[in-house]
Amino acid sequence: MTFTPHGKHLIAGDWIAGEASFTSAPAHGPAHDFSVGTPAHVDAACAAAEEAFWSYGYSSRAERAAFLNAIADEIEARAEAITEIGAQETGLPEARLQGERGRTTGQLRLFAEHILKGDYLDRRHDKALPDRQPLPRPDLKMMQRPIGPVAVFGASNFPLAFSTAGGDTASALAAGCPVVVKGHSAHPGTGEIVAEAIHAAIAKCNLHPGVFSLIQGGRRDVGQALVQHPLIKAVGFTGSLGGGRALFDLCAARPEPIPFFGELGSVNPMFFMPHALANRGTEIAQGWAGSLTMGAGQFCTNPGISVVIEGPEAEAFTKAASEALAPMGAQTMLTDGIAAAYRQGRDRIAGAKGVQEVLTSVCDMRNATPYLFLTTGAEWLANEALGEEVFGPLGLIVVVKDMDEMLALAHSLQGQLTCTLHLDDEDAKAARKLLPVLERKAGRVLANGFPTGVEVCDAMVHGGPYPASTNFGATSVGTLAIRRFLRPVCYQNMPEAVLPDDLR
């Protein structure tokens, strides 16, 4: 099944063209023309979303669960076509896209199951105490309610799981919030075919068409118009620190400030305890090389930093990591811009004071090859720039003098999505000193693993202190993500016949 995009926006059930267009830049295969979004498109989509909220926001959990499952069904019905155009646009292997499609449909179905259980409503009831002295207590009931229309920005590195029908969209729709998506220009055809799947599910479930809109392309004015639109009540974003911070500031500066749930950047450091490094250093180095280069390093949980204590074990680890990375060939990056930014990051690290090149290679155009650098704990602590993310398969080994310097390095970290401890049983005492620091720095702390690969489940946290994300109390993966798009409402002395069905 071959899919040929028509290049239009989906706004309130209609496919609409714009006056201007842009041409996609696929890694291979044909390029296609797509309409450029405008603030006028944003206004139309937001108005339709607000109108849809008055029915969709008050629909039953069963109705919304059926809708989420219908979206998953429609995506699966287009599986081959999605894989084909996704691979063309991004250069990602077909197997990776097939797995990501499964994750996308899986999280839609997971949220359907989650809302049917009803636990997320956090229902509470304090019964009236009319005879209490000195004052009686009224009857008080509370539960979580949807906030209204939500804006979602598609991500460059996950054309399915973090884009049009990704986790932000799935959790917002599950909560009862209509969604307006700004598609990513790196994969507009993939966005369009997934929007067609959602459009088909809306028709199948007989929902208001304003429950979902997709606006393609667009310049900064489109993103600005979307986050500043008075009908938008929250924003979900996965992307760069610079772009995310700019949108975050716009949300905060609105006459009515709204929450901006941005996942922005992380170097995901790994800390090697002495016995683990001595006993398994070579094995872990080989695993790190695989994790570092997976998907050309284009994962937000890519473990870019390894912290080891100086000595022969650290030297052996460095040698093993270099040998494991050396045979890795060039990989196609998602866009020319991401490839250029990777080379700039490489040059920044290579040119930093006290940084030694361990493994160098040559990459140009849209290709990425691995790089490995080495520095000391003292140089790291003196240069904040070494802790800035390089999006791609670049690793930095930081050699510290002892556990005290490792602890100081951990204290110096900015917020992270993940931190990892590699430890053996004999390392438990040292690890206990480090863990309280790491849990203040990251949303997920791992032991003896690699952070690439984020399980979609109840207990997952994909977020962390700034700049990993703009809201440390939230996650963009897992069922807790629904809480971003809900707010508590208390009902005092409300007659049973008037209460929402879920509180009766």
Q: Which residues are catalytic?
A: 263, 300
Closest CA to 261 of 227, 230, 215: 227
DSSP 220-266: HHHHHHHHH-TT--EEEEES-HHHHHHHHHHHHHSSS---EEEE---
Q: What does the alpha-carbon distance between residue 192 and residue 298 come to, in Å, rounded to a whole number? A: 23
Give 23's contacts (C-beta < 8 A, 6+ positions apart): 31, 32, 33, 34
**Rounded Cα gap, residues 380 and 355, in angstroms:** 9
The three-state secondary structure class of 375 is strand
My answer on whether omega of the bond before 134 falls inside 30° of 0, hence cis, is yes
Give the tokens for residue 403.
Answer: 């556990």
Tokens at 279, concatenated: 């006993």
Copy the structure tokens of residue 259.
Answer: 């929450």
Please, what's the b/e burial string for 378-404 (b: 16 or more CB within 10 A of its CB; e: otherwise)?
Answer: bbbbeeeebbbbbbbbbbbbbbbeebe
